[in-house]
Amino acid sequence: MALKDMCNDYMLEIVDEDLRGKKYENCSDEKEKCVICLSKLKGSEEASKLECGHKFHFECIKKWLIVENMCPLCKEAVLN
């Protein structure tokens, strides 16, 4: 296994342990978008809310955090 693949597998483990997905709930009338894929978040989809309060599709932010350890919107560090 290549070193890059091992690093990606390790990061995936860290992201899986730290990030929680749950069904998306919108408390306002506005439709929120996942800024990673640009699709609207819907009630039946799995989403994650980071410590900074920003919401994304669970799978989108999971893939993002494997590459970048920061919120794509405010750049706050996510994983410690």
- Give residue 6's pLDDT band: very low, low, confident or very high (50, 70, 90): very low
- Give residue 74's pLDDT band: very low, low, confident or very high (50, 70, 90): very high
Rounded Cα gap, residues 78 and 60, in angstroms: 14
For the chain, which residues make up each domain, given as ranges? 3-67
> Is residue 32 within 8 Å of residue 40, measured between CB atoms?
yes
Topology (CATH) of 3-67: Herpes Virus-1 (3.30.40)
Q: CA nearest 37: which of 56, 24, 52?
A: 56
From first CA to last CA, the distance across the chain in angstroms is 26
| Structural tokens at position 30 | 């506005």
| Structural tokens at position 64 | 């993002």
The larger pLDDT score, comparing residue 66 to residue 29, is at 66
- Give residue 79's pLDDT band: very low, low, confident or very high (50, 70, 90): confident
Rounded Cα gap, residues 80 and 78, in angstroms: 7
DSSP 37: T
Q: Could you read off the pLDDT of 46-69 as tens digits, one per residue?
A: 888 888 989 899 899 989 988 899
